[in-house]
Structure 1
C-alpha cells in the first residue's frame, strides 16, 4: 500500500514526509482502481517547492483523481506517495459554507494562535478586506473564488492543489484571478498543482506542463520563459501546438 503524509480539504496540516529537501510531493508507481477500471496506472511525479505544475488531460484521464489522492481525500491506492508538509485545496466550486460569513469561512478549522487575525490578513491579500462580514451568497463568482483562495493560503500550504478553479469564471474575471494567483504564488512560493483543461491557461501560469492520458503521464514540458508571457512568443506557439497534439486536437486548416 502507498505511504503518505497529508491531510484534508480545510486544515491539511501534515507531518514531515520523506521526499527530498526540494520536493514537496513525490509519487512512484501510483495506482488507483475503481473495480476493474484502472484510473491511475503507475504515475511517477515530483513537485518541487515553489514549482507551478499544470496538469492537462482529456476528460476521464485521471487528473482530478490524482489531485484527490495528493490531497488525502482518496487513500485507496497502491504505490509510493509522499507529501511533505501542509496541503490546501481550492476546487472549481468555492464550496463556501452559506450560513457562515466570509471571515468565518476562512477561519473554519484553522488551528493557529490568532485565527481571526490570520484570516483578516489572508482576505487583505485577495483584496476582500471589506467583505469579511458578508454572506457568501452575496458574492460574485470571482469574489467567492478569491475567498476560496484565501481559505487555502491562510494555512501557509507547502502544496497548493487547484482543481479547475477558474473554469466557471467569465473571461475578464479569469484574467484578474490568474494575476492574483501568480502574485500570491510568487509571495508564498508553495508547490502548486493546477488541474485544467485549458492549454493557454497552463502556458500562462505554469513552470511545467504534464499531460495525463488514460491514467499515465504521456508528456511533460518545462516552460523556461519568464512571466508575464505573451501568447505569440515563438516558443509558446510551438509548445501550444505540441500540447494540443498530445491532447488529440488537430490545428490543420487553421490560420
Structure 2
C-alpha cells in the first residue's frame, strides 16, 4: 500500500535537552508528515523517549524550535490504565466531545474490545491492556500518534497481532506516527522511514519502500537491517 502524504504534522529544528551537565538531545532536526509512519531506533539512554516526550508537550525544558500541527496522543510502554475506573471510562478520560461514552465504545470496538468496556483494567491480559491504551489514544483522532515502545512487554504472538492492528488503524485514520523502539525488525516491518538517534542527533534516516505485508527475509529489508545495525554500532556477531 502506497503512503499518501500531505503537509508536516510536526517539525523540529535544532532541538536540545540537557539534564545538568549531560546533553541528551543536541540539535535534533526532524519532520514527520501526515500519514507517515516513522520508527525511531537508538541504544538505551540515547534520548528516544526524551524526544517523544518533547513532541507530546510533556517536557518544557527543551531548546530549539518545535511545532506540532493538530492534536497529539501517546501510547506508552505501560498501558497506564487507571485501576479504579472501568475500561470504557479509561478510554473516555478527559475526552472533550458531546458523548464521551459513545466515542469510547466505538474506539473499543475498533481495537477488538467491544465486550470489555465494563471490565476492570486488572482483569485484562497484557495484549488487551495495550489495545485499551491504543483505543484511548485513537479516540482523540490525533494528527500525530506517539508510540513509546508499546509492544516491548508483549509475548511474540501477541506482538504480531498488535502490529497488525496498529497497521490497520493507521491505514484507516492516517495520523502521522512516531514509534520509539529498540527492535530493528519491528521498525522495518512497520515503518515508512526508520531513524537512528545517537549522540543526541539523528544520525541515520532510511526510507522503507517495501510493500506491506512485509517479510523479514526480503532482500531490501535484510540490506536495511544491516545498515541500521551498523548505524547503531552493532556488529553481526552480536545479533541473533
TM-score (norm 1): 0.90
- Trace 1:77-116 onto structure 2 (pairs within 5 A): 77-116=62-101
Q: Distance in 2 between matches of 1:24 and 1:40?
A: 21
- Trace 1:147-162 onto structure 2 (pairs within 5 A): 147-162=132-147
Aligned with residue 51 of structure 1, among 36, 48, 56 = 36
Q: Give 1:173 deviation, angstroms.
A: 0.2
SS at 1:231 equivalent: coil
Q: Give 1:77 deviation, angstroms.
A: 1.1
How big is each residue's C-alpha offset from its partner over 1:175-218, in whole Å with a ceiling of 9 and x where there is no partner?
Answer: 00000000000000000000000000000000000000021111
SS at 2:151 equivalent: coil
- 5+ residue gaps in structure 1? 1-20
Q: Give 1:254 deviation, angstroms.
A: 8.0
| Residue equivalent to 2:222 | 237
- Trace 1:196-215 onto structure 2 (pairs within 5 A): 196-215=181-200
Consecutive aligned runs of 4 or more in structure 1 exceeding 2 Å deviation: 252-255
What is the total number of aligned residue pairs between the two structures? 235
SS at 1:185 equivalent: helix
Instruction: Provide the aligned C-alpha RMSD in A.
Output: 1.2
| Residue equivalent to 2:104 | 119
Q: Aligned pair 1:172/2:157, yes or no?
A: yes
| Residue equivalent to 1:15 | none
SS at 2:115 equivalent: helix
- Trace 1:31-70 onto structure 2 (pairs within 5 A): 31-70=16-55
Q: Distance in 2 between matches of 1:132 and 1:215?
A: 41
SS at 1:192 equivalent: strand
How big is each residue's C-alpha offset from its partner over 1:103-155, in whole Å with a ceiling of 9 and x where there is no partner?
Answer: 00000000001111111100000010100001000000000000000000000
- 5+ residue gaps in structure 2? 1-5
| Residue equivalent to 2:129 | 144
Q: Aligned pair 1:246/2:234, yes or no?
A: no
Q: Give 1:252 deviation, angstroms.
A: 4.5
| Residue equivalent to 2:175 | 190
TM-score (norm 2): 0.96
| Residue equivalent to 1:17 | none
